[in-house]
């Protein structure tokens, strides 16, 4: 079928098959396939932000593929974590959103957004699939709380809009999401799709409040969740395919005039049908992280447009919105420029200070007694490290080095966040010499999702009752260690966070951060 309707341009295709420090051959072939199918909007995985020269090269390749296919200027977006997805790219030089919520500082959010935005802009990226405005109110959220701006809707809106403005000031646009707010979803429901059972009054007062503020601040795009919201859509239609949600709530009630992106569909769904229904409901782009789903959806949209099922005026309206967004972007550089990104030393220093100041004392005391003499030979530090392939796994060596530098003489043991029997044996041999370690600190990594960490902490407790726990990523870990003499949270696994923790343990600084989420079981 000839591609004359340009309806395939309503697809945002995810570029998968990439890995850190790996080959880009598969991505180049996929970009050519996308362009041949009429797709000119591409979503790259967030880990590329840690390889700026490579990111800049892939952006240039994407633009060439679109131009060679006669599609005009490409829209290049970047998502979070390892696969193309929604969320901030891993960026350990600045505080995480939850860390910013601990600081409660819009200025700190602006600083963090400017740092990340400057990097991505130097690589030619147009759109960041972030910030996330879902309230971080669910301890069981598989995405974790780290990417959200806390559970207070007013603060989340304040910080999220500041972050989005900073990205724009630095040269990239923000896509806020997931509308209408997925912080309180249930997963056991109709056809396996998550749903939100909250009344409309609660949605307007809390979940949608951060979106209202960010829209007013000029967010360029909104990702609408593929979630059932009975209070807003009485039919069994997901928000990303509901005109009541998109045209009614988002555009009319909130006054949004930018790009609406429909969220990814599951492998069990008909991707082509979902794309057509989403476009008819008001989505300007439909996100597909699976290449086969993206290509099938492009074909389905072209067919629907050719047969008149998708009105030509709808396709033209979307194209104008996308052209308006792209025309406001700076001209692409003739070569990758990511290699020339060197943030000012003062900006990095201030961001690292923000990381240190975001660390929170949740209960008790974190200071090791050895800090009084400057020697930590009697201290045992157990650090749980991210599993291989995790976005922050490259930080492991730097984290351990920072702890050893700040706590000289301490016995520091790094174990996998998913420890096996060998790790248990190694830990038992080290701590079973009764009296060798009078005090200990345990640094967890998503322990509330990884129960083996709690078991090893019990082993430490058996021999070293004087121990404290600091959650390096998710503060909900603290609820699992009620007998620790001190509980803290650092809101991000990074070298900066490790140094801040070590200085707290050494008594050289005080915890200044607040409590961005409530952890059940902790005394106030």
Residues 224-256: tens digit of each pLDDT = 999 999 999 999 999 999 999 999 999 999 999
Which tokens hold the place of 442? Answer: 């345990």
Give the pLDDT confidence score for residue 190 in this predicted structure: 47
Give the pLDDT confidence score for residue 63 in this predicted structure: 96
Exposure string over 490-505, b if 16+ CB within 10 A, otherwise e: bbbbbbbbbbbbbbbb
Residues 373-393: tens digit of each pLDDT = 567 888 999 999 999 888 888
Closest residue by Cα to residue 258 from 201, 379, 156, 177: 177
Backbone angles phi, psi at 454, to 5 degrees: -60, -40
pLDDT at 1 over 50: no
Tell me if 86 sits within 8 A of 132, measured CB to CB: yes
Closest residue by Cα to residue 287 from 309, 268, 308, 259: 259
Domain architecture of the chain: domains with CATH: 7-340 (3.20.20.300), 359-506 (3.40.50.10090)
Give the pLDDT confidence score for residue 377 in this predicted structure: 85
- What is d(CA 487, CA 467) in angstroms, rounded to the nearest whole number? 9
pLDDT at 319 over 50: yes
Tell me if 524 sits within 8 A of 495, measured CB to CB: no
CB atoms within 10 A of CB 315: 21
The size of the chain, in residues, is 524
pLDDT at 2 over 50: no
**Which residues on neighbouring strands pair with residue 470, listed in sequence order?**
443, 488
Model's pTM, two decimal places?
A: 0.93
Closest residue by Cα to residue 391 from 473, 319, 458, 315: 473
SS (H, E, C) 131-155: CECCCCCCCCCCCCCCCCCCCCHHH
Backbone angles phi, psi at 288, to 5 degrees: -135, 115
Is the model more confident about 440 or about 436? 440
**Which residues on neighbouring strands pair with residue 261, listed in sequence order?**
223, 285
Which range among 268-282, 301-315, 357-371 shows the weakest confidence by mean pLDDT? Answer: 357-371
Residues 448-505: tens digit of each pLDDT = 889 899 999 989 998 998 999 999 998 999 999 999 999 999 999 999 999 999 999 9
Peptide bond into 180 cis (omega under 30): yes
pLDDT at 334 over 70: no
How far is Cα of residue 192 from the mean position of the Cα atoms in its chain? 23
SS (H, E, C) 90-137: CCCCCCCHHHHHHHCCHHHHHHHHHHHHHHHHHCCCCEECCCECCCCC
| CA distances (Å), origin 280, targets 275, 276, 310, 357, 458 | 9, 6, 7, 47, 55
Residues 129-147: tens digit of each pLDDT = 999 999 988 777 777 788 9
Query: What confidence category does residue 371 fall into, taking pLDDT thresholds of 50, 70 and 90?
Result: low
| Average pLDDT of span 285-313 | 96
């Amino acid at each position: 079928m000839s591609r004359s309707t340009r309806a395939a341009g309503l697809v945002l295709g995810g570029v998968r098959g990439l890995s850190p420090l790996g080959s880009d051959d598969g991505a180049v072939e996929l970009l050519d396939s996308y362009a041949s199918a009429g797709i000119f909007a591409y979503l790259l995985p967030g880990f590329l932000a840690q390889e700026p020269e490579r990111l800049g090269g892939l952006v240039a390749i994407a633009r060439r593929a679109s131009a060679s296919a006669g599609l005009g200027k490409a829209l290049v977006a970047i998502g979070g974590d390892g696969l193309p997805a929604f969320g901030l790219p891993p960026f350990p030089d600045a505080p995480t959103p939850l860390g910013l919520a601990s600081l409660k500082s819009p200025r700190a959010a602006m600083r963090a957004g400017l740092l990340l935005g400057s990097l991505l802009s130097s690589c030619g990226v147009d759109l960041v699939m972030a910030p996330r405005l879902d309230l971080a109110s669910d301890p069981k959220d598989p995405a974790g709380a780290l990417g959200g701006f806390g559970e207070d809707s007013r603060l989340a809106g304040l910080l999220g809009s500041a972050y989005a403005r900073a990205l724009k000031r630095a040269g990239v646009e923000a896509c806020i999401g997931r509308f209408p707010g997925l912080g309180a979803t249930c997963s056991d429901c109709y056809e396996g799709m998550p749903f939100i059972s909250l009344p409309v009054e609660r949605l307007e007062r809390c979940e949608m409040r951060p979106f209202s503020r960010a829209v007013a601040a000029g967010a360029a795009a909104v990702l609408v969740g593929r979630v059932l919201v009975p209070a807003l859509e009485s039919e069994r239609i997901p928000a990303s395919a509901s005109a009541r949600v998109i045209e009614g709530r988002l555009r009319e009630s909130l006054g949004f005039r930018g790009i609406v992106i429909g969220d990814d569909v599951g492998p069990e769904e008909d991707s082509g049908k979902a794309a057509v229904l989403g476009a008819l409901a008001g989505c300007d782009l439909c996100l597909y992280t699976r290449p086969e789903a993206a290509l099938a959806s492009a074909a389905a949209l072209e067919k629907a447009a050719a047969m008149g099922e998708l009105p030509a005026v709808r396709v033209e309206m979307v194209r104008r919105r996308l052209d308006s967004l792209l025309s406001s972007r700076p001209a692409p550089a003739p070569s990758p420029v990511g290699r020339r990104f060197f943030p000012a030393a003062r900006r990095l220093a201030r961001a690292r200070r923000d990381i240190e100041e975001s660390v929170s004392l949740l209960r008790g005391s974190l200071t090791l007694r050895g800090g009084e003499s400057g020697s930590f030979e009697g201290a045992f530090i157990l650090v749980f490290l991210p599993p291989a392939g995790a976005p922050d796994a490259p930080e492991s060596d730097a984290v351990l080095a920072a702890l050893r530098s700040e706590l000289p003489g301490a016995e520091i043991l790094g174990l996998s966040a998913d420890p096996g029997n060998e790790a248990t044996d190694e830990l038992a041999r080290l701590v079973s010499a009764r009296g060798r370690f009078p005090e200990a600190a345990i640094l967890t990594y998503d322990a509330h999702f990884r129960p083996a960490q709690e078991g090893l902490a019990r082993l430490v407790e058996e021999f070293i009752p004087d121990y404290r726990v600091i959650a390096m990523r998710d503060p909900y870990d603290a609820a699992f260690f009620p007998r620790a003499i001190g509980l803290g949270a650092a809101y991000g696994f990074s070298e900066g966070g490790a140094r801040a923790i070590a200085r707290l343990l050494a008594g050289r600084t005080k915890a200044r951060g607040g409590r961005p989420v409530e952890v059940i079981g902790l005394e106030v």
